[in-house]
Structure 1
């Protein structure tokens, strides 16, 4: 288990009027979304910030670089065994909105069997790690807890026409030296990419992982006879 994933909304107090609709979600105030993965010690292993508040966690996930290294084949290899079955992908604890992928471990909806009930309680408790991390961020850093100011408000009051002045554009002249690796189109690399892409999104692997961990947790609790 790599960590717990979730999103929080950061209020944008001085959002431009023309952007307010795009950045306003169900609370009807402009916000910017932070996606983060945190571990039990509230260490943030992944952060993706900037998506408009009208999006939900799934919309953020489609733009997030969370799985870029994994699909590109550059992530560390992982292999572990649970309930006598081998698994080759790390996973994140996630809530119900996230898809049934091999890389997400969600709770059991409407659990009825004792082992499912106990697993659901444990999964929910450990998933609170990322929410606790968000709480610490908001308590320690006022810029996260409160509204964000635009750059113009932080500048000198003597320049009243700041908002009317066009920003100076910086032209990017392309990569220099070895800033970027060359992008290839050969079938070998594309096939590998697609294989990893499908592996991440496998509902079958998600179900196997969930079942194996439910059984493992149940036996770990000392309930082997049931």
Structure 2
């Protein structure tokens, strides 16, 4: 079928199996549209929701176990070619200067909206003896130097910088593997998008992400879990903590939102956090390097 079986690695045109399935191209496309609409309607609220405080605590536990305290994951973009993009829109949805590269996607993203509006749980953690209050993602070098982004070190000089770059890049591969798993499971997002409508194309991607998240949740019991007990054994007795009872009454006025934006984009704080993480990683792994 045009939608693609989960195990298939190729994809066919919508009318390639007319005689075999007795379905025309129009009917096949309609089946796909109804299927993704149903998946989004039934499961979207649960599997595309924002992290709850419990989810956030689990992410912090994983980050702590990976020796990056207060790290809640890696952030990146996946480019899905739109083969049937309208001629009038050519270039607006492709890679390159002035198009939807990682930076422009970030500008359109809502990932930091809750932080800016003050609607996120309060988190406290310590790195190299210093207290911080804002979670961060590991990224590649194209992202800006914000407090919420920690990049690797280009051309690292010295043992500490080299070790930090190795550890940061090793952990950040998780997000690239996640995109690879998503594309391996669903051939429809591995190959160029054949729909003419960008709204329908977006819904197909959302439906595939929902199904992917359902599979991850179903198989999670078989994975190694980084719960609080294991986290406390591996780290500083729980240096990252989410206040599960926290609720904010901070008014969402322009002054407060601008203040949060300024704190997020504080380059000095970004560099201080990165320096502390370099020292933290060296303290945890430096003796292994010395033994080698």
- Taking structure 2 as the reference length, what is the TM-score of the superposition? 0.54
CA contact (8 A) 2:138 2:150 kept: yes
Q: Secondary structure at the match of 2:75?
A: strand
Q: Closer, same or farther in 2 for the Cα pair 1:56/1:151, shift >3 Å?
A: closer
- Taking structure 1 as the reference length, what is the TM-score of the superposition? 0.69
Alpha-carbon offset, residue 18 of structure 1: 1.7
Q: Secondary structure at the match of 2:134?
A: coil
Q: Closer, same or farther in 2 for the Cα pair 1:188/1:74, shift >3 Å?
A: closer
Partner residue of 2:91?
21
Alpha-carbon offset, residue 191 of structure 1: 2.2
Partner residue of 2:11?
none
Partner residue of 2:269?
205
Counterpart of 1:3 (choices 65, 73, 89) is 73
Partner residue of 1:57?
102
Q: Hey, which of these two has a bigger chunk of strand by percent?
A: 1
- Gaps in structure 1 of 5+ consecutive residues: 27-52, 153-186
Alpha-carbon offset, residue 189 of structure 1: 2.9
CA displacement 1:19-70 (0-9 Å, x = unmatched): 12322334xxxxxxxxxxxxxxxxxxxxxxxxxx922111111110010000
Distance 2:132 2:116 in 1: 17
Q: Secondary structure at the match of 1:150?
A: coil
Q: Per chain length, whose mean CA-contact separation is higher, i.e. which structure has more relative contact order (CA < 8 Å, sep 6+)?
A: 2
- Gaps in structure 2 of 5+ consecutive residues: 1-70, 198-250
Counterpart of 1:114 (choices 141, 159, 162) is 159
Residue 73 (1) aligns with residue 124 (2): no
Alpha-carbon offset, residue 190 of structure 1: 2.5
Residue 132 (1) aligns with residue 202 (2): no
Alpha-carbon offset, residue 192 of structure 1: 1.6
Which stretches of structure 1, 4 residues or longer, exceed 6 Å deviation after superposition?
none
Q: How many residues align?
A: 167
Q: Hey, which of these two has a bigger chunk of helix by percent?
A: 2
Partner residue of 1:178?
none
Q: Secondary structure at the match of 1:25?
A: coil
Residue 189 (1) aligns with residue 234 (2): no
